[in-house]
Amino acid sequence: MTLKQTRLVTTDVAKLTRFYENVSQSKAEILNSSFVQFQNEACKGLAIVELASTRAYGEGVAESGANRSVILDFEVDNVDAEYERLQESVSDWVMSPKVMPWGARAIVFRDPDGNLVNMYSRP
């Protein structure tokens, strides 16, 4: 078995796509107005889908902006540089640069739908 993709369900595909293109500094592949995916290394395996498209699984199966249990982790070279670069893009900071108990330096913020994003660098 191989995990191939993580899909973020949203009511605003364009807005969330722009956010992750900016965060990852990579371009999404737009398959249609309700589904995009990232295929490059910076964000490979991330997809963004319109809430309405999840109704094929059943009514009410997915809910946009309701996640409090998943954290997307991005390894970066310099957490402090990313923190400065993202000041204009991120409006919901959870944690400014900090050395974690396991030694990594990290920042944590929420995307426009409230999903947690962790950027870290190894010591």
Q: What letters, b where the CB count within 10 A reaches 16 and e where it falls short, cover 80-116?
A: eebbeebeeebeeeeeebeeeeeebbbbbbbbbbebb
Q: CATH number of the domain that 50 lies in?
A: 3.30.720.120
Predicted structure pTM score = 0.92
pLDDT at 123: 84
Reply yes or no on whether the pLDDT at 120 is more than 90: yes
Residue-wise pLDDT for 12-69, tens only, equals 999 999 999 999 999 999 999 999 999 988 999 999 999 999 999 999 999 999 988 8
In single-letter form, the type of residue at position 21 comes to E
Residues 17 and 49 occupy one common structural domain? yes
Task: Determine contact, residues 101/120, Cβ cutoff 8 Å.
Answer: no
Q: CATH number of the domain that 75 lies in?
A: 3.10.180.10
Residues 47 and 71 occupy one common structural domain? no
pLDDT at 68: 87
> Which residues form the domain of 79?
66-123
Residues 25 and 42 occupy one common structural domain? yes
